[in-house]
Amino acid sequence: MLDKTTDLAAMLDDPSLLEPHAFVGGQWIAGDDGTFEVTNPARGDVIAEVSDLSRAQVADAIDQAHAAQKDWARWTGKERAAVLRQWFDLIMANQRDLGKIMTAEQGKPMTESTGEVAYGASFIEFFAEEAKRVYGEQIPGHQRDKRILVMKQPVGVAASITPWNFPIAMITRKAAPALAAGCSFVARPAKETPLSATALAVLAERAGMPSGVFNVVTSSSSSEVGKEFCENAKVRKLTFTGSTEVGRILLKQAADQVKKCSMELGGNAPFIVFDDADVDAAVEGAIASKFRNNGQTCVCANRIYVQAGVYDEFAEKLKDRVSQLKIGDGLAEDDVDLGPMITAEAIDKVQEHIRDAKSKGGKVILGSDQHDADGNFFKPAIITGATQDMAFAQEETFGPLAPLFRFEDADDVIAMANDTIFGLASYFYAKDLSRVWKVAEELEYGIVGVNTGLISTEVAPFGGVKQSGLGREGSHHGIDEFLEMKYVCLSV
């Protein structure tokens, strides 16, 4: 582990963005349960002591959000849009500082952190516009004296639980449509990355967000907060991003009140290279998909299937490119490609998948199952000879491991790609038009990238099928998750 310390405040143009308190009802508050430590995964040192809220304090935040929501919903869409637009402008004006805070607490390189700030802000920009376009309907009556109206109204208080891997974007991808729709919002960020969330709240306050409309409850106990969100009837919508395992827990807890839920869960993305693909483009796409955030994204390529005719060429070129990726501390060096893993346990899982594959005949052509780098840094690995009985064929690696499977024909690879409980993202490279249509239609996934390894954008509906989730985030569909439809039957 590097023996450096992180003087994060000294690195910021605006040190007031480094906020260790929770934000509730327009107030910055301490935690009844004291504080919890946030560490820099690249250096291992403590970068902040953050308010540790009790369940009672979370309940109070929900009360404050409930009290603020009715008035916020009375604002016109245009008035809400103006606040959201100001929030967007302030986030982009502070993009570099927010990137440094994210790199310090999550580890991703500065190019990715500042990229995520812009990606996260894009949801606020997009839904600021959607706030003006929440349209209802008038439907021709079923009888001469009947008039039918359909109203769209905000669901009320929305609450989010989000993971450490995208500390800003996973919050704004939920909060932006919720606030645009006229909901109030209570965000519970991951204990590993609360500082990005409190910095968002600093800027929301500066943007003129009314007290109680946007709240950030920081806590070391995720299960207690989850129970409060699920058991408190004032919370009308729960929106979660994280593992399928935790998604199941939350859905079971929310079932008692039949609470409206959105779930963005785990994935196991296949990345398929056909023999008519542009192999060089496919290699670049695999790098982008597999090694973004050091493989710690739910849409990372988890299995790479390469048709026999181009398998050796692809493997050699991928090995050459991956060996050039630079591992390092994003706060110390500018040209870093791969930061640290979030925790030592995250490294254990990657090593476990490598060892499992080796025990079943896989060949490690780059990297190893040994943790021979500093601290939470782990060298990327490539395995050839991957087969469907290996752990990563069913489990999400969530780290820098690229297993290469060889296949012969399209029907076989589609069957292998679909042989999973997950259905979030998938990718394939091919040129033949009939093949592109066939594969895009037959892959059982919510997202299909064709000749691209990057699919994340605010304008498209992001979400999974099967056990990768419920609902969609982003695009004009995203606001529907925070609206109720009311049918009014008028007898005139």
Ligand X SMILES: NC(=O)C1=CN([C@@H]2O[C@H](COP(=O)(O)OP(=O)(O)OC[C@H]3O[C@@H](n4cnc5c(N)ncnc54)[C@H](OP(=O)(O)O)[C@@H]3O)[C@@H](O)[C@H]2O)C=CC1
Ligand Y SMILES: O=C(O)[C@H](O)CS(=O)(=O)O
Q: Which residues carry out catalysis?
A: 264
Q: To which H or E segment does residue 203 belong?
A: helix 194-206
Q: Which is nearer to ligand Y, 220 or 468 (CB)?
A: 468
Q: Binding residues for ligand X, how many (CB under 6 A)?
A: 25
Give the whole-angstrom CA distance, residue 55 versus residue 223. Answer: 10
Q: Check residue 48 for interaction with ligand X (CB under 6 A).
A: no
Does 170 participate in binding ligand Y (rule CB under 6 A)? yes
The span of 24-32, 65-73, 221-229, 400-408 binding ligand X (CB under 6 A) equals 221-229
For 219, half-sphere exposure in the C-beta direction (CA atoms, 13 angstrom radius) is 26
Closest CA to 446 of 407, 479, 412, 474: 474
Residue 184 interacts with ligand Y (CB under 6 A)? Answer: no
Contact call for residue 298 and ligand Y (CB under 6 A): yes
Of 119, 126, 164, 428, which lies in the binding site for ligand X, with binding defined by CB under 6 A? Answer: 164
190 binds ligand X (CB under 6 A): yes
Residue among 410 and 479 whose Cβ is closer to ligand Y: 479
Q: 483, 152 in Cβ contact below 8 A?
A: yes
User: Could you tell me which stretch among 140-148, 163-171, 331-339, 386-394 binds ligand X (CB under 6 A)?
Assistant: 163-171
Is position 185 an interface residue for ligand Y (rule: CB under 6 A)? no
Q: State in angstroms the smallest separation of the CB of 119 from ligand Y.
A: 7
- What H or E segment, with its residue span, contains residue 153? strand 146-154
- Any contact of residue 302 with ligand Y (CB under 6 A)? no
Q: Which is nearer to ligand X, 222 or 418 (CB)?
A: 222
Query: Other CB atoms closer than 10 Å to residue 25's CB: what's the count?
Result: 16
Size of the site for ligand Y (CB under 6 A): 11
d(CA 477, CA 194): 28
Whether 397 and 362 have beta carbons less than 8 Å apart is answered as no
Q: Is 241 helix (H, G, I), strand (E, B) or coil?
A: strand
Alpha helix (H) residue ranges in 344-452: 344-359, 410-418, 433-442
For ligand X, the binding residue among 154, 163, 167, 471 (CB under 6 A) is 163
Q: Residue 265: CB partners within 8 Å, gap ≥ 6?
A: 240, 241, 242, 243, 244, 247, 298, 422, 424, 464, 467, 468, 469
Tell me the residue length of the chain.
492
Please report whether residue 124 would count as binding ligand Y according to CB under 6 A. Answer: no
Among 96, 132, 147, 191, binds ligand X (CB under 6 A): 191
Kindly tell me which of 100 and 108 has the beta carbon lying closer to ligand Y: 108
Does the protein bind ligand Y through residue 186 (CB under 6 A)? Answer: no
Shortest reach from residue 347's CB to ligand X, in Å: 13
51 interface partner picked from ligand X, ligand Y, none, CB below 5 to 8 A per type: none
Told to check if 190 binds ligand Y by CB under 6 A, we report no
Cα separation, 114 vs 99, in Å, equals 5
For the chain, how far is it from start to end, CA to CA, in angstroms?
Answer: 75
The dihedral over CA atoms of 412, 413, 418, 423, expressed in degrees to the nearest 10, equals -170
Instruction: Indicate whether 397 belongs to the interface with ligand Y (CB under 6 A).
Output: no
Check binding of 161 to ligand X (CB under 6 A).
yes
Check residue 165 for interaction with ligand Y (CB under 6 A). Answer: yes
Query: Among ligand X, ligand Y, none, what does residue 169 contact (CB within 5–8 Å per kind)?
Result: ligand Y
Q: Select 226 or 362, whichever has its Cβ closest to ligand X.
A: 226
Give CA separation, 368 vs 45, 153, 341, 373, 392, in Å.
27, 54, 16, 11, 16
User: What ranges make up the beta strands (E) of 61-130?
Assistant: none
Which positions from 231 through 290 interact with ligand X, judged by CB under 6 A? 241-243, 246, 249-250, 264-267
Tell me whether residue 306 or residue 402 sits nearer to ligand Y (CB atom): 402
Q: Which is nearer to ligand Y, 462 or 482 (CB)?
A: 462
Element at 112 (helix H, strand E): helix 110-130
Adjacent-strand bridge partners of 425? 447
Please, which residue, 130 or 264, has the CB nearer to ligand Y?
264
Q: Site residues (CB under 6 A) for ligand Y?
A: 165-166, 169-170, 241, 264, 297-299, 456, 462
Q: Site residues (CB under 6 A) for ligand X?
A: 161-165, 190-191, 222-223, 226, 241-243, 246, 249-250, 264-267, 298, 396, 398, 424, 469
